[in-house]
Amino acid sequence: MADLTRREVWGDRPPELTQAILDDADVDRARPWPQTLLSDYARYWRDGVRTAYEDPAGELRRRTSTAVLAAALTADQAYVDAAADGLMLLCEQTTWCWAAHESFATARSEVVGDPDEPYLDLGAAETAEILAWADLVLGPALDERVPGLRRRMRRETRHRVTQPFRTDRRWHWLGLDGRLHNWNPWIHGHVLAVALFLEDDPQVQLEVTDLVVDGLSRYLDAMPADGGCDEGYAYWWNGPARLALALDLLDRVTDGAFAPWSCTPLAEMVRYPQRVALGDGWYVNVADGSARPDPNQPWHVLHRWARYHQDAEAMAQAAAAHRDLPIAPAAGLGRAVLGLTDDTWWNAGKADLPLPKSTWLPDVQLFVARDNGGLTLAIKGGHNDENHNHNDVGSFIVALDSTPVLIDLGQPTYTALSFSDRRYEQWVVQSGWHNVPVISGHEQQPGPEHRATDLVVRENSLALDLTHACPEAPRCRRVATVADGAITIADEWEGSAAEHFVIAGTPISHDAGRLTINTLGGGCAELTWNADLGAGHLEERAVDDALLERVWGPTVHRLVVDCPGKSFRLTVRRGERP
């Protein structure tokens, strides 16, 4: 890491790394800066909309980060001035906290953040991170062009981040109550950058660093030994990958003396993205995750983490995206700086994506298995009190040639409902819109007591008891198997049942015991079941959410088969178009 005066570091970056950043910076300079308005902030309380404020706030952070990188890459004073404008706009915001997290204002029955009572959330941490890394990279240029800005940046981060972090231990994301999630490493990592790059008092710097190490240790201790992530692949980048970046920074500033990489279960955690990859940009998605997340992730973080463990397959997965995607300032300025200066990453050769034949993660109870004919099965156990929980114990995904056809819908656009006591009014988190049976008319309910038990794992199958997950069910058991070019789901229960299957793609043939689907990937999948049960009911539902529509298109379908008996068997194969 070095400031922009080190032209041997910044001036020799290959054009394929820099051109997209410079192009974006030039486009940005021709447009007005985004505004963050109180009326948009207040919409969270008025009508539950978060994006009206969070989108322009995120664009202001992205644009500032892009200008910082353009200034570093070129040492051009026009880019330095643009970066300074963005940094000053960030400093002048009344609050860095996102409205959905502003509990201090809510407690006052207000919608305006109080500058004298800052709330340290993801928004505050993300903003402070930009100021910290911008100071590291542009310090000399800012002193020359806009003297006084760096002092202002220090004052704002000290008041809004460093001081609240040091003096208030009530922040829920510290995990002092034992509940750990992605906020912990995400915020701790940014606070660490602020302490290292913006704090001038060595004693405060040491105090904050000690608190960060303590917090990261708490998160690491809570991680499952299998390396799984109950928040899913999309949040892996903002949980474990944030942890890895913070550990990497500690490793660098201590010149290797900190040496965190031997801690368990880091060697397993680095393998999670590979284990849940379906191929062609699709992933096994659980909880609030997208089945087709933004491919432009900071793959250099994964590659560097894998290098520490000499994990060839994890490095190969990162290298599979090598040079195809530009550095993304929106993913974090610190990530972008480290990615641009990681010569080992950029000199690595392109690799093919390795996909394991079978994976079982016992702690998070996730099973993924593939056959040689292009079918992939993923099925989860777990419980209904997971982070970003959906009521989905026993739900499964089937993909054909990497593309999901029996699906988990994933994350909708977040609103005021998303993390409230009304969360389960959202259709996409209800068990009726997951691939699980509804026993005696009752869907699954939230809570840790609703869980899978008595799991039996083999190389190509998972059996699990769903009795505790299904209200009013004296007994319910599911066995999922992939073998001989087919995936079978075999259920047994007591009581009546209706089987639910959520489908992406276009149904092209439907009759008793059979449904044929054109997948989103251009393949053809055939679902079969006992024809005596009839055709079932196939319904179409409009996808009325932008995030979901981007993945699944304007509609999805749900097949519901009523089962008067005590068992049901579904088979999924590669089909032939009629």
pLDDT score for 472: 80
Q: Is the pLDDT of residue 66 over 70?
A: yes
The residue among 165, 190, 215 that closes a domain is 165
The mean of the pLDDT values for the chain is: 95
Total domains in the chain come to 3
CA distance 212 to 218: 10
Residue 328: pLDDT band (50, 70, 90) is confident
Three-state SS annotation for 44-112? HHHHCECHHHHHHHHHHHHHHHHHHHHHHHHCCHHHHHHHHHHHHHHHHCCCCCCHHHCHHHHHCCCCC
Same domain, 309 and 407: no
Give pLDDT tens digits for 235-290: 999 999 999 999 999 999 999 888 899 899 999 999 999 999 999 999 999 999 99
| Contact by Cβ (8 Å): 123, 56 | no
- What is the DSSP code (8-state) at residue 442? B
Q: Which has more pLDDT, 398 or 17?
A: 398
pLDDT score for 1: 62
Based on its alpha-carbon atoms, the radius of gyration of the chain, rounded to whole angstroms, reads 25
CA distance 348 to 152: 40
Residue 186 lies in a domain: no
Helices 299-309 and 240-253 sit at what angle, rounded to 10 degrees? 60
Same domain, 334 and 395: no
Residue 473: pLDDT band (50, 70, 90) is confident
Same domain, 330 and 451: no
Lowest model confidence (mean pLDDT) among 10-19, 188-197, 395-404, 531-540:
10-19
The model's pTM = 0.95
The tokens of 224 are what?
């499952």
CA distance 489 to 462: 10
- Ramachandran angles phi, psi of 501, nearest 5°: -135, 125
CA-CA-CA-CA dihedral for 301, 308, 261, 233, to nearest 10: 40
Same domain, 43 and 113: yes
pLDDT score for 15: 83
Residue 176 lies in a domain: no
Residue 9: pLDDT band (50, 70, 90) is confident
In 303-416, DSSP assigns E strands to 358-361, 366-370, 375-380, 383-384, 396-400, 403-406
pLDDT score for 382: 96
Domain of residue 54: give its range: 1-165
Residue 494 lies in a domain: yes
Give pLDDT tens digits for 149-188: 999 999 999 999 999 999 999 999 999 999 999 999 999 9
- CB-neighbour burial class of residue 78 (10 A; exposed 0-12, middle 13-18, buried 19+): middle
The residue among 323, 356, 389 that closes a domain is 356
The CA-atom distances, in angstroms, between 264 and each of 185, 222, 398, 511 are: 16, 11, 32, 52
Same domain, 302 and 374: no
As a whole number of Å, the end-to-end CA separation of the chain is: 60
Residue 170 lies in a domain: no
Task: Please give the average per-residue pLDDT across 342-355, as a whole number.
Answer: 86
pLDDT score for 4: 83
Same domain, 351 and 369: no
- Ramachandran angles phi, psi of 154, nearest 5°: -65, -40
Residue 192 lies in a domain: no
Same domain, 522 and 416: yes
Same domain, 453 and 322: no
Residue 568 lies in a domain: yes
Same domain, 413 and 499: yes
Where helices occur in 93-162 by DSSP H, the ranges are 103-107, 122-145, 149-157
The residue among 306, 340, 356 that closes a domain is 356
Same domain, 161 and 281: no
Domain of 507, CATH number, reads: 2.70.98.70
pLDDT score for 323: 60
Three-state SS annotation for 42-62? HHHHHHCECHHHHHHHHHHHH
Same domain, 300 and 154: no
Same domain, 439 and 348: no
Residue 196 lies in a domain: no
Q: Is the pLDDT of residue 578 over 80?
A: no
